[in-house]
Amino acid sequence: MPPKKPQPIRNESKPKGDAVEGPLLQAVVLADSYNRRFEVLCLDQPRVLLPLCSTPLLSWTLESLALSKVKQVFIFCGVHADKIRDFVASSPYNSTLDIQCLSSKTARTAGDALRELDAMHVLDPEKPFILVQSPIISNYDLSKIVDAHKKRREVDKNFIMTMGIGRGGRRHPESPIMLVHPASSRLLHYVQQPLSPAPLRVTFPASIFLDPFPVDMDSYEVWSGPSASSSRGGFRDLGIDICEADIPALCTENFDYHDLRRHLVNGVLTSELLGKKIAVHLVGSEDDEEVKGDHRSGSGGKYVERVRDTRTFAEITRDMLRRWAFPLAPDLNDPSGVQYELRKGNVYIARDNVVLSRTTTLRGPLLIGPRSALNHNTLVNQSTLGADCSVGPNTTITTSYIFDDVRIGANCLLEECIVGKNVQIADGVKIGRGVLIGDGVKLGKGAAVPDFARIGRERYRPDNFDSDDEDEDEDDEVDDPRRLQVLGPDSVGFIWPQEEEEPPSDSEDEGEDPFEHPRNKRLLQLGRTLSNLTASSASLSTLSKASSSPPESPMSGASDDSLPDMPSLILDSGPPAAFYSEASASIARAYEEGHSTENAALEMKTLVMGYNAGIDRAREEIMKFLLGKVDASGKLGDVLTSATKVFSRWGGMVKEFSPSDPTNIALDAQLFSRA
SS3 per-residue string spanning 380-406? EECCEECCCCEECCCCEEECCEECCCC
Across the range 267-282, mean pLDDT stands at 87
- Least confident span in 100-109, 197-206, 307-316, 563-572: 563-572
- On the question of pLDDT at 642 being above 50, the answer is yes
Most confident region among 295-304, 368-377, 571-580, 640-649 by mean pLDDT: 368-377
- On the question of pLDDT at 215 being above 70, the answer is no
- On the question of pLDDT at 573 being above 60, the answer is no
Residue 212: DSSP 8-state: -
Give the CA angle between residues 371, 374, 376 to the nearest 5°.
Answer: 150
When comparing pLDDT for 290 and 195, which is higher? 195
State the pLDDT confidence band at 231, using cuts at 50, 70 and 90: low
Distance CA 188, CA 257 (A): 19
Determine contact, residues 428/412, Cβ cutoff 8 Å. yes
- On the question of pLDDT at 446 being above 80, the answer is yes
Give the CA angle between residues 229, 234, 240 to the nearest 5°.
Answer: 135
Across the range 193-216, mean pLDDT stands at 76
Domain 577-674, CATH = 1.25.40.180
Determine contact, residues 55/101, Cβ cutoff 8 Å. no
**Residue extents of the structural domains in the chain:** 26-318, 338-459+476-496, 577-674
Q: What is the pLDDT of residues 65-93, one digit of tens each?
A: 999 999 999 999 988 999 999 999 999 99
Across the range 479-508, mean pLDDT stands at 70
When comparing pLDDT for 306 and 546, which is higher? 306
- On the question of pLDDT at 336 being above 80, the answer is no
- On the question of pLDDT at 14 being above 60, the answer is no
Distance CA 472, CA 478 (A): 11
Give the CA angle between residues 498, 504, 509 to the nearest 5°.
Answer: 135
- On the question of pLDDT at 229 being above 90, the answer is no
When comparing pLDDT for 506 and 625, which is higher? 625
338-459+476-496 and 577-674 share one fold: no
pLDDT at 500: 65
- On the question of pLDDT at 149 being above 60, the answer is yes
Q: Is the dihedral of CA 107, 112, 113, 117 positive or negative?
A: negative
- On the question of pLDDT at 136 being above 50, the answer is yes
Domain 338-459+476-496, CATH class in plain words: mainly beta
> What topology is assigned to 26-318 in CATH?
Spore Coat Polysaccharide Biosynthesis Protein SpsA; Chain A (3.90.550)
- On the question of pLDDT at 395 being above 90, the answer is yes
Residue 512: strand, helix, or coil? helix
pTM of the model: 0.75
State the pLDDT confidence band at 298, using cuts at 50, 70 and 90: very low
Q: What is the pLDDT of residues 100-120, one digit of tens each?
A: 999 998 999 999 999 999 999
pLDDT at 155: 93
Across the range 629-634, mean pLDDT stands at 83
Determine contact, residues 451/529, Cβ cutoff 8 Å. no
- Compute, in degrees rounded to 10, the torsion defined by CA atoms 214, 218, 224, 228: -170
Exposed, middle or buried, 383 (CB in 10 Å: 0-12/13-18/19+)?
A: buried
Most confident region among 331-335, 544-548, 634-638 by mean pLDDT: 634-638
Name the H helices within 491-635.
518-523, 577-593, 597-611, 615-628
- Least confident span in 149-158, 187-196, 633-642: 633-642
| 228: Cα separation from own chain's centroid | 17
Distance CA 168, CA 562 (A): 9
Contacts for 553 with CB less than 8 Å, ≥ 6 apart: none
pLDDT at 583: 86
| 31: Cα separation from own chain's centroid | 16
The closest of 434, 542, 446 to 485, measured between CA atoms, is 446
Distance CA 277, CA 162 (A): 9
Q: Is the dihedral of CA 547, 168, 298, 243 positive or negative?
A: positive
Side-chain-side CA neighbours of 615 within 13 Å: the count stands at: 16
The closest of 172, 148, 170, 174 to 161, measured between CA atoms, is 148
Average pLDDT over all residues of the chain: 81
pLDDT at 297: 43
Residue 295: strand, helix, or coil? helix
State the pLDDT confidence band at 350, using cuts at 50, 70 and 90: very high
- Least confident span in 144-158, 563-577, 595-609, 611-625: 563-577
Percent of the chain residues past pLDDT 90, beyond the cut: 48
Determine contact, residues 195/520, Cβ cutoff 8 Å. yes
Across the range 607-626, mean pLDDT stands at 78
Contacts for 654 with CB less than 8 Å, ≥ 6 apart: 619, 622, 623, 626, 647, 665
State the pLDDT confidence band at 424, using cuts at 50, 70 and 90: very high
pLDDT at 456: 93
Residue 492: DSSP 8-state: B
Determine contact, residues 394/503, Cβ cutoff 8 Å. no
Long-range contact list for 375-380, CB < 8 A, 24+ apart? 375/410, 379/599
| Residue 544 φ/ψ, nearest 5 degrees | -145, 135
State the pLDDT confidence band at 661, using cuts at 50, 70 and 90: low
Distance CA 669, CA 654 (A): 12
Across the range 601-623, mean pLDDT stands at 78
CA distances from 506 to 108, 190, 511, 517 (A): 12, 26, 10, 15
When comparing pLDDT for 662 and 239, which is higher? 239
* R_g of the chain computed on alpha carbons: 27
Across the range 179-195, mean pLDDT stands at 90
| Residue 156 φ/ψ, nearest 5 degrees | -145, 110
